[in-house]
Structure 1
Amino acid sequence: MTTIFKDGAFVEEDWVRADPETGAALDGDALVPLSMFLVEPETYLARGGRTAVLIEAGDDSADVLPFLDRLALVAVDFPSFADGRGFSAARILREQAGYKGDIRATGKYILDQVPLAMRCGVSSFEISKPEVLKALKAGEWPEVTKYLQPVGTVEEIPEGTRPWARRSLRDIPVAAE
C-alpha cells in the first residue's frame, strides 16, 4: 500500500509497478513506465484492472496524449528535488493537452514543492519521504503567494510593473461592504 495525498486527505492505494520482467502480466491496477507502455499500449489497456502511465524524467509527455482518455491517471516522476522536468510534464498535460484527470507526483520531491506542483496541475501526491508525510499530517503548508512564472491553472494577477512577476488572487485583501 502506498500513501496518497489528494484533496487535503490521505488515502492508501495499491498500484503495482510494471517492470520489464512482469510486462503486461499484472493483476489489479498497474502503473506502467511510458517507455514500456508505448511498446504495446493496447495490451496494457485491455488487461483486467486500471492502467496508469508513469512519465519519467526525459520522457516526452506528448507521447501519452492519444491514450489520456483511457488511463486511470498519469504519474509524473520527480527523480530529485532539483529536477524540474516533472513540473513541465504536468503543465503540458494540464494546460496544453487539457487533461482533466488525476496527475500524480511521484519520487523525491520535497514539501516546499507540493504547492508549486499543484500550481502546475498536479492533483495528487504519492508520498515516499517520511518527512513530507509527517509535515502534511501536521498541517504544515508552505503556501507561496508570489510567483515568477505565470501558469494557466491558477487565477493570478501581475505583481508590480514586471509582467513576469505574479501574485495569487488569494493574496489580495477584500474590502468590507
Structure 2
Amino acid sequence: MATIYKDGEFVEENWETADAETATAVTGDALVPLSLFLGDAEAYLARDGQTAVLVEAGDDVEPVELYLGRLALVAVDFPSFADGRGFSAARVLREQIGYQGDIRAVGKYILDQVPLARRCGVSSFEIAKPEVLKALKAGEWPEVTKYLQPVGTVDEIPVGTRPWARRSPRDIAVAAE
C-alpha cells in the first residue's frame, strides 16, 4: 500500500510495478515503466485492472501520447531531490501534449518541491518519505509566491519590468491582508 496525497486528502492505493519478468502477467492495478509499456502497449491495456505508466528520469514522454486516454494515470519519477527531469516530464505532458489526467510524482522528492511540482502539472503525490507525510498531515505547505520561469498550468501575474518574473495571485491576497 502506498499513501497518495491528492487535492488535500490522503488515500491508500495499491499499484504493483511490472518488470521484464512479470510483464503483462501482473494482476490488479499495474504501474508499467514506459520503455516496457511501449514494447507491448495493447497487451498491457487489455489485461484486467488499471494500467498506469511510470516515466523515469530521461524518458521521452511523447511516444505515450497515443495511449494517454486509456491510462489510469502517468507516474513521473523523481530519482533524487536534486534531479529536475521529473518537472520537465510533467510540463511536457501538461503543456505540450495537453494531458488532462492524473500526473503522479513518485520517488525521492522533498516537501519544498511539492508546490513547484504542482506548478508543473503534477496532480498527486505518492508519499515515500515519512517527513513529507508528517508535514503534509500537519498542514505545512511551503508556498513559493515569486517565480523566475513562467508555466502554462497556473495563473500568474507578471512582476515589474522583468518579462520572465512571475508571482502567484495568492501573493497579492497575502500582501493585502
Give TM-score, length-normalised by structure 1. 0.97
Aligned to 1:38: 38
Aligned to 1:146: 146
Partner deviation per Cα, 1:110-133 (whole Å, 9 max, x = no partner): 000000000000000001011101
1:55 equivalenced with 2:50 (yes/no):
no
Partner deviation per Cα, 1:88-131 (whole Å, 9 max, x = no partner): 00001111111110000000000000000000000000010111
Aligned to 1:131: 131
Partner deviation per Cα, 1:7-47 (whole Å, 9 max, x = no partner): 00000000000011101101100000001001100000000
- Aligned-pair identity in percent equals 79
Letter in 2 for 1:139: G
User: Which ranges in structure 2 are unaligned for 5 or more consecutive residues?
Assistant: none
Letter in 2 for 1:88: S
CA root-mean-square deviation: 1.4
User: Which ranges in structure 1 are unaligned for 5 or more consecutive residues?
Assistant: none
Aligned to 1:95: 95
- Which secondary structure state, in structure 2, belongs to the residue aligned with residue 75 of structure 1? strand
2-side partners of 1:173 and 1:160: how far apart? 18
Aligned to 2:118: 118
1-side partners of 2:120 and 2:60: how far apart? 17
Letter in 2 for 1:61: V
2-side partners of 1:57 and 1:63: how far apart? 15
Equivalenced residue count is: 176
Which runs of at least 4 in structure 1 moved beyond 4 Å after TM superposition? none
Give TM-score, length-normalised by structure 2. 0.97
- Which secondary structure state, in structure 1, belongs to the residue aligned with residue 39 of structure 2? coil
Q: If each structure's helix is expressed as a fraction of its own residues, which one has the higher value?
A: 2
